[in-house]
Amino acid sequence: MVFAAGTTAYNIVELFHVLTVLVALAPVFVHPLLRKQMQSAGGSAHQQLVVAMASNARRLYGPALIVAGLLGIAMVEMSEDAISLTEGWVIAAIVIWVVMNGVLHGMIRPALKAQGIEGASPATDKRLEVGSALLSIGFTVQLILMIWQPGG
């Protein structure tokens, strides 16, 4: 079959799956450090940074996270009988992906937007720290599920 695992089409989907994950989640690891550095520097640099981060979360990171999950589901479907959407680890991965989208779109993006408009506050700083930690944990669990495929 043209879309089976190991074919060129499958490998292209896998490549885009990994690339979209990188686009979506690299900021989770970089942004907290940048925000702290800019806050320490003072001035308007921090505000400009969070405005850019909020814009990128809306235009890049959020859509990339959505596409990454959809490509992952496509890879499961393309694998024919090797992997099924009914396997426990696949279901867990999908649930975690949905939660990660909720954290990014419902927690991180609004906190970045608020900081861009009103400036940093302890409440928005805390939401960003917790949201970044949750995405990092979700990403790590996703990797564990995909590598070891427990119960698969």
Does any domain span residue 2?
no
Q: Sorting pLDDT into bands at 50, 70 and 90, what band is 4?
A: confident
Residue 83 placed within a domain: yes
Q: Does 99 fall in a domain?
A: yes
Q: Write out the residue range of the structural domain in which residue 13 sits.
A: 8-148
Token readout for 56 is: 């990128």
Only one residue has tokens 């995405």, namely: 135
Give the model's pLDDT for residue 36: 85
- In angstroms, the CA 56 to CA 24 distance is 10
**Which spans in the chain are helix H?**
8-41, 45-56, 62-78, 88-103, 109-118, 122-148
Task: State how many domains the chain has.
Answer: 1
Residue 3 lies in a domain: no
CA–CA dist 45, 35 (Å, integer): 9
Query: Is 1 a member of any domain?
Result: no
Average pLDDT over residues 78-90: 92
Structure confidence at residue 63 (pLDDT): 98
pTM: 0.91
46 falls within a domain: yes
**Contact criterion met (CB below 8 Å) for 76 and 100:** no
Q: What is the mean pLDDT of the chain?
A: 92
Give 46's Cβ-side CA count (13 Å radius).
18
Task: Name the residue with tokens 């942004």.
Answer: 31
Query: What are 7-44's pLDDT values in tens digits?
Result: 899 999 999 999 999 999 999 999 988 888 888 887 78
pLDDT at site 30: 92
Inside any domain, residue 13: yes
Q: Which tokens go with 48?
A: 């400009």
Under 8 Å between Cβ of 143 and 97: no
